[in-house]
Structure 1
Amino acid sequence: MSGLRPEENAPTRIAEAVLLVVALALGMGGMWMVGYALEDGLPEGFWTYSIVLAALAFTTHIVLRLRAPYADQVILPAVVLLNSVSMAMVLRLDLVDMRGANASRHLMWTALGVIVACVVIFLLRDHRSLRRLTYTAMVVGIVLVILPLIPGLGQEINGAQIWIFIGPFSLQPAEFAKIAFAVFFAGYLVANRDTLALAGKKFLGLQLPRLRDLGPILIVWAVSLAVLIGEKDLGTSLLFFGLFVGMLYLATDRVGWIVIGLTMFAGGAVAAWSIFSHVQARVDIWLNPLDAELYAREFGGSYQIVQGLFGMAYGGMFGAGWGEGYPDRVPFAFSDFVYASLGEELGLTGLLAILLIYLVIVQRGLRHAVGVRDGFGKLLAGGLAFVMALQLFVVVGGITRIIPLTGLTLPFMAQGGSSLLANWIVIALMLRISDAARRPSALPTRGALADPAPAMVGGDAIEVGGPGVGPVQAGTEAGAGRGATPDEATQIVRGVER
């Protein structure tokens, strides 16, 4: 598909539209079945929710076709499917007066997230312009993480101080900090990957980088530890640390970073368990959820996870059916434990289908990280895809007792304004990068930067032309308006080498 012209790309656009119709139909079907199971008729607001979701989906589709015609045609329908199914589940919990569940609020945040994603796609013509904001992104990420610790602005909820309140609205700044840190890591590592991979001394066969090269990254790592200590947020700390190690590995291709990261994580986990009581409580719940004392504890006990496990067991292989289960018995079934709620009503088959949809999104993100022609885009796309996969593992692993609960939410499915808004921005960036990755090399991005695209010299990527322009197409003053000859391209590459 990457070699097609816009008019030849029409079948791709039609395929995306068809997939959007299927995704919306599944979500609307869920709301329809919820209404007939609980109220013997269409639920209140069914047509409003359905029309708004369809309008949002096809508006995004049109924006993509106008501003990013070569963008991936699968990612948007996959996300719309997850968001539509979550709408059905939140509506189902809302109909049984589940405290905190509110379908209208969920739709409002979904609409805001889609609108912001469209704005990002419309205004961000070239993802490489974000590279200019490398250190700005680092500062923004650190400020966002620290905001909940400011007296009067941050507030502790359910044992973790990760929220800020501005009037009637609440936000979880860490959701946006992960995007800022991904931009920072991508910009910093693409400029310093050689020194990180090759400079420094070897220890036990591992290439250790110089401390001065790691300085800015260690600052972000220290911030993630401060989050754990000051805000009692194990999940966000794990997410930041995983992003830190994952992007280092992507940039340097050194397995040693995985070993170092796992060692640091093991040491930090043991230290956190020995120092912090809330971490000890999470581990106790993980290891002994059926303990009578833990189960009966009003706050911080195992009641939530046990009820979630019972619900998924009741769902069995094919589920109890929309509206036929009892997910309202699980605390925060619409946010922290929406995965367990879906498991009760859709069964193991439904949960596996949902995981496959996430797998498709992550796989497409990694695929475009390989295909895009600049190092910054490769790292940014890879980092965003990795952080989504890590968040999915942490959430599902906590609910199914593979790891202790961390308090993160399931992207696009859990009710929560911060999560929906931040993850739609992630999708917008992935779509923008996919457009650059799939764009034919003879068609540079309109309004592109002067930053060149990479050519391979000595096995490493260097930049010699405009976006999507390889060394043979790189223009010179003598050859403006035409592709460079092989001899001219050779001179350009040799000049860059020098």
Structure 2
Amino acid sequence: MAVVAAYAAAVEANQLDTVSLDFWVPTASLTAVFLALHLVIRFLAPYADPVLVPAVALLNGLGVAFLRRLDLAQASPDERGDLPIFAGVGGRQLAWTLGAVVLAAGLLVLLRDHRSISRYAYTLGLAGIVLVMIPAVLPSRFSEINGAKLWVRIGGFSIQPGEFAKLALLVFFAYYLVRKREVLSLASKRFLGVDFPRGRDLGPVVVVWLISLLVLIFEKDLGTSLLYFGMFVVTLYIATERVSWLIIGLLLFFGGAFLAYFLGSTVGGPFANFYVRAEIWLDPFADPHDSGYQLVQGLLALGTGGLFGAGPGGGQPTILPEVHNDFIFAGMGEEIGLFGLSALLVIYLLIVERGLRAALAVRDSFGKLLAGGLAFTLGLQVFVIVGGISKLIPLTGQTTPFLSAGGSSLMANWLLVATLLRISDAARRPVDSAAAPRASGVPAGPPPQLHGATTEVIRP
């Protein structure tokens, strides 16, 4: 939070030529919220990973500070000094942060054992599919922004159901793959040193691939399609430890994307939007003032930032379309430079690494798959959005976790972090803590790993 406060002070120094006496108030509000969450964790999940919340709090805090910087830039010069704390996009993001952290704390209160989620796996899987399909079936005026149908908009309220769908689908994937792991691990043929699965076991992968392709066609978004299919293939790889599933997944996805591109160039229809996005990706400077304007401005912002950037509040991010949402990484890059963006990516990498560490340490298979899938999904979402603005892959409508404005993304990602905290608490909790003798000399009850444990029948 000291880093966030210094960032906010630098923003005001560049925007107002002075630092107001209350520049610290938004940061102090965030500090109080995160400190309260820390206390909740100390009581409800005392063995949870201590790195996750500080890392996420830094990203969230910098996101709020940058969005307030945009509000200052868009306000008239005589109003900047008296801009209320909860005004504009930055103020709404501060309020959304409060709600998201309360939601995360509520999940820790309700979810005392991560394995209990598996009881509702099929219900959550169905709910996830419904949430994914809602924007696709709605008319464009209620769901489409910048060519991608990812939203549900009613009046002034909007929500992105896909952010919550990824969590529900991950629970279902983890539960399904735990039950089918042995079957999916069977190999039929060995090719170039890699054991490939039997043809009859490809059904689940093909079904999820078709769903992802439908998302690509009807929601017109490559990023969401890649996110859903990628998290399924990776959880499948974690469950079976077979590289062949990754190879099959990559071939299926890139084959489907190429097919959509080819059909978009010939028959048009629902494939036309993807074809246009791919053409912009291949050569954004072919039409830099119209179709390629957003991507070109993002690249110019990153180039202008150079190594060290123009300083917080010293750039011109308001030129970027959707800088508060899709292109917040490029807007921040203009002001903090390559070194600053690299630091942000390292923080994301740290969060993913701690999630994977929890997956390795937790003792049950469901927890391993769920934690691994959650960590990978967060990393994949960062890759999709950063890859889009840097022209590595076609531009998508994904949000940058914890930085971009929007309540749906913020709440869903804080729920993701809360789930990782619960799993890491189970992973780091000493196995024999309940079996150790108590201080009074009275023997404790039976070990927790035996008391109430489930059994498995292994058939030959």
CA-CA distance at 1:217 after TM superposition: 5.4
Q: Which one of the candidate residues 41, 59, 64 is aligned to 2:41?
A: 64
Q: Report which structure shows greater RCO (CA 8 Å, sep ≥6).
A: 2
Following superposition of structure 1 onto structure 2, how do residues 7-156 of structure 1 map, counting pairs within 5 Å?
A: 24-42=1-19, 46-97=23-74, 102-151=89-138, 154-156=142-144
Structure 2 partner of 1:225: 213
Distance 1:493 1:91, change over 3 A: closer
> Which secondary structure state, in structure 2, belongs to the residue aligned with residue 165 of structure 1?
strand
Could you tell me whether the CA contact under 8 Å between 1:197 and 1:207 is conserved in 2?
no
Structure 1 partner of 2:307: 317
Normalising to structure 2: TM-score of the pair? 0.88
Distance 1:34 1:206, change over 3 A: same
Structure 2 partner of 1:422: 412
Structure 2 partner of 1:387: 377
Question: Among the aligned pairs, what percent are the same residue?
Answer: 49
Normalising to structure 1: TM-score of the pair? 0.81
Q: Which one of the candidate residues 197, 210, 213 is aligned to 1:208?
A: 197
Structure 2 partner of 1:262: 250
Could you tell me whether the CA contact under 8 Å between 1:89 and 1:342 is conserved in 2?
yes
**Structure 2 regions of 5+ residues with no counterpart?**
77-86, 264-270, 438-442
Matched, 1:249 2:237: yes
Separation in structure 2 between the aligned mates of residue 115 and residue 104 of structure 1, nearest angstrom? 17
Matched, 1:341 2:331: yes
Separation in structure 2 between the aligned mates of residue 421 and residue 483 of structure 1, nearest angstrom? 36
CA-CA distance at 1:222 after TM superposition: 2.7
Separation in structure 1 between the aligned mates of residue 7 and residue 396 of structure 2, nearest angstrom? 29
Following superposition of structure 1 onto structure 2, how do residues 324-403 of structure 1 map, counting pairs within 5 Å?
A: 324-403=314-393
> Which secondary structure state, in structure 1, belongs to the residue aligned with residue 399 of structure 2?
coil
CA-CA distance at 1:397 after TM superposition: 1.0
> Which secondary structure state, in structure 1, belongs to the residue aligned with residue 149 of structure 2?
strand
Structure 2 partner of 1:449: none
Separation in structure 1 between the aligned mates of residue 235 and residue 62 of structure 2, nearest angstrom? 31
CA-CA distance at 1:49 after TM superposition: 1.4
Separation in structure 2 between the aligned mates of residue 54 and residue 422 of structure 1, nearest angstrom? 21
CA-CA distance at 1:413 after TM superposition: 0.6
> Which secondary structure state, in structure 2, belongs to the residue aligned with residue 46 of structure 1?
coil
Deviations 1:445-476 (A, max 9, x none): xxxxxxxxxxxxxxxxxxxxxxxx9xx99xxx
Separation in structure 2 between the aligned mates of residue 136 and residue 347 of structure 1, nearest angstrom? 45
Distance 1:44 1:313, change over 3 A: farther
Total equivalences in the alignment:
432
Q: Which amino acid aligns with 2:387?
A: G
CA-CA distance at 1:66 after TM superposition: 0.4
CA-CA distance at 1:116 after TM superposition: 0.5
Structure 2 partner of 1:481: 445
Q: Which one of the candidate residues 296, 299, 303 is aligned to 2:289?
A: 296
Separation in structure 1 between the aligned mates of residue 454 and residue 50 of structure 2, nearest angstrom? 35
Matched, 1:194 2:194: no
Distance 1:483 1:418, change over 3 A: closer
Q: Which one of the candidate residues 269, 272, 276 is aligned to 1:277?
A: 272
CA-CA distance at 1:267 after TM superposition: 0.8
